[in-house]
Structure 1
Amino acid sequence: MPTTVETKKLKIGRISYLNTLPFYFELFQTGDVCVTQNGYPAQINQWMQEGAIDIAPISSLEYGRHPDAYYLLPGVSIGARRHSGSVLLFSREPIERLKSQPIAVSEESYSSQILLKILLAKRFHSDHQFIPLSGTIDSMLEAAPACLAIGDKALFYRSSNFCYKYDLSEWWYEWTGLPFCFAVWAVRREACQENAAAVRSFSDQLKVSLERNLNQLPVLIEKELNLSIADEKYALVYSYLSQLSNHLNEEMQTGLKRFFELACEINAIEKVPPLEFIQEFAA
């Protein structure tokens, strides 16, 4: 009599930002063996470390800090070749006049903090105290002359007073000529070992979902966000989702490795990790 093996449910982390919609929209079908848990990037990283979730888009720095804990899902990432639109430094002063003044930084993403630290130190040759804060961008700018904001909060922010706005991935591209990878899709190694077939199936399903949704962004925006082309936010959201780089191709991997090298130089990670993918585990 054949033995029946019960497949464990995969626990999928979901970042609650617009930039993940091309992955998640209509990703799950009836009967799929998975459950989801929503949070912002720092929460997702923590839950992956604790084993509360199995697969998620984690910050690139989280992978760099704990490479032995994860395998990467091939072909998918969250990044930008030039403008990210949602990882922004807002400042009351131009960058040249900020000098060593403190900067308020979002507590939602550690990768963006390290990217900013690298750019300020290596490109602009300045050193700043970072003040981790939550709250609105206006409240952060009251606490410091500049602030780093990410996600939808940064994308939709409109200041009532004049302020400078700098896109970190644009700074990165101007300096390195490479795209920047903010997040990689990863699976905990234990989950991969326990449920390899389900992990590979989810990885394939994720890539199919991404390609389908990138080819039908108007449908995604209308159904998921209830926005029509007549809505004020429609053009901004469409442009934003169109300009993101969602593929972990060779160029994106080169940019990711360069980020790891620079993060290592400022002691944000111990060493430059290899990029290990689930198909290498399967082999």
Structure 2
Amino acid sequence: MPEPVGVAGIAYLNARPLLAGLEAGIDAPFSYRFESAEPGTCAQRLASGAVGAALVPVASLPSLPGVQVHSGLGVACRGAVTSVLLISKVPPERVATLAIHRASRSAVTLARLLLTEKFGVRPHLVTVDPPLANMLANADATVIIGDPAMRVAGQTGLCELDLAAAWNDWTGLPFVFAVWALSPVAPTTTSDLLVASHAHARAHWEELLTRWAQAHGRTIAEVRTYLEQILHFELNDADRAGMAEFLRRAATADVLPTAVSES
């Protein structure tokens, strides 16, 4: 009997609508196992062959040769997102050191791109583990994403730059943080499973909002606003154009990670 196909998803509130069916164990024409992890770890698991599909940071795609991108689903926004922040002790144009950790490659890459191309600085990167205070004790600025970012947004007393809003102001395009990527050896019906997982979320939306609010320490109203008004999960041509432009600009600026093992 073949081993179950591994499917890895990002362990943040912003990805829950894409993972709902997988977490519920919906039926599929093949056996699968779901696991949740940090964004960078999802990319590593796919690169190593440990899983057949993963929700990965867009910035990791150039270092995942041979994967098939499910271009219809992802985590995206068309402006301010509140959960992907550059937090800095100095104005962006004065950032000399940037603390990074095993966070989303897309967020770190976007921060580096904006600092280089929009603010005219190319900070030295230092790898520092959270919490936020520790990271800022070792650098001028850091990138914080997901649930931790939502907990501190607007409360740090420091310079906070919403990276998705800055991207939209700069380019006029949406920003796609993560997409499903499939191994060449994944079953041909894996894409159908991913679509069904999102459909499961839509079919059980109100119940899931309550569950997610409890799990992530937010109010139902906050979760509803975040998942219904700030983020979207079905990608269109504008989203795909934004994703392509991000990868193009990041490559030109030489800020893309070179391997999935990079932080």
| 2:87 aligned to which of 85, 90, 94 | 90
Counterpart check, 1:21 vs 2:21: no
Offset of residue 178 of structure 1: 0.1
Identity %: 24
CA pair 210-63 structure 1, distance change in 2 beyond 3 A: farther
SS at match of 1:85: coil
What TM-score results when the alignment is normalised by the length of structure 1?
0.80
CA pair 159-178 structure 1, distance change in 2 beyond 3 A: closer
Contact 1:106 1:149 in 2 (8 A): no
Structure 1 match to 2:260: none
CA pair 12-138 structure 1, distance change in 2 beyond 3 A: same
Counterpart check, 1:131 vs 2:126: yes
**Which ranges in structure 1 are unaligned for 5 or more consecutive residues?**
1-5, 271-283
Structure 2 match to 1:48: 46
Structure 2 match to 1:111: 106
SS at match of 1:82: coil
Contact 1:15 1:39 in 2 (8 A): yes
| 2:62 aligned to which of 61, 64, 69 | 64
Distance 2:213 2:178 in 1: 23
Contact 1:61 1:110 in 2 (8 A): yes
| 1:267 aligned to which of 246, 254, 259 | 254
Distance 2:117 2:45 in 1: 32
CA pair 152-160 structure 1, distance change in 2 beyond 3 A: closer
Question: What stretches of structure 1 move > 6 A for 4+ residues in a row?
Answer: none
CA pair 133-144 structure 1, distance change in 2 beyond 3 A: same
Contact 1:107 1:133 in 2 (8 A): no
Counterpart check, 1:157 vs 2:148: no
Q: Which amino acid aligns with 2:200?
A: S
Q: Which amino acid aligns with 2:193?
A: F
Aligned-residue CA RMSD (Å): 2.4
Distance 2:95 2:214 in 1: 44
Structure 2 match to 1:34: 32
Structure 1 match to 2:220: 234
Distance 1:268 1:160 in 2: 29
SS at match of 2:43: helix
Which is greater in Rg? 1
CA pair 51-246 structure 1, distance change in 2 beyond 3 A: same
Offset of residue 226 of structure 1: 2.9
| 2:210 aligned to which of 212, 218, 222 | 222
Contact 1:77 1:181 in 2 (8 A): yes
Distance 1:219 1:153 in 2: 24
